[in-house]
Amino acid sequence: MILQFDENGSLIGSITSVGYPAPQETLDLALTTAASVEDVPPFEPRYWHRTEDGLKIRPRLALTTREKSESGGRLFVIEGIPAGAMVRVTGPDNGELEADGEAVELLFQQPGGYRVTVAAEPYQPQEFDVRVEAAHGTA
């Protein structure tokens, strides 16, 4: 969540439609209409966890993704997932798997929209949307 402040430090707006941490280009854009901005995690439980030292912001995994067409479907590859993390897929085909520390390759062949969620404690869950178009000449 990005909080926008005027030159007196008064809250003048917020942007809640971006994940935490916000991309630098989003912060730069928010500065065009405010004197200063703060990037803070939303108050949703998925951004917080309790440690011996109290309530802390969950760190974010440094995941990278890439997609390409393959075998009449869509190959979606996620790198940077630690061993033991759960990868869940919802959409026309559903499923989940436990990551082994290597890149996770998911091949989607049924047309439609998919949501891929990576969950690894104590990290923030991360979600990705994958769209698979119907092959030409098929319904």
- The 10s digit of each residue's pLDDT in 73-131 is 899 999 999 999 999 999 999 999 999 999 999 999 999 999 999 999 999 899 999 99
CATH code of the domain in which 123 resides:
2.60.40
Do residues 33 and 86 share a domain? no
Q: Looking at residue 19, what DSSP letter applies? A: -
Q: What is the mean pLDDT of residues 59-83?
A: 92
Looking up tokens 């998911």 gives 106
Do residues 47 and 73 share a domain? no
Q: Phi-psi region for residue 21, left (φ > 0), alpha (ψ -120 to 50) or beta?
A: beta
Do residues 119 and 77 share a domain? yes
Q: Which of 47, 32, 26, 21 is nearest to 12 (CA)?
A: 32
Residue 55 reports pLDDT greater than 90: no
Residue 139 lies in a domain: no
Looking up tokens 């990705």 gives 128
Residue 137 lies in a domain: no
Residue 139 reports pLDDT greater than 50: no
Residue 37 reports pLDDT greater than 90: yes
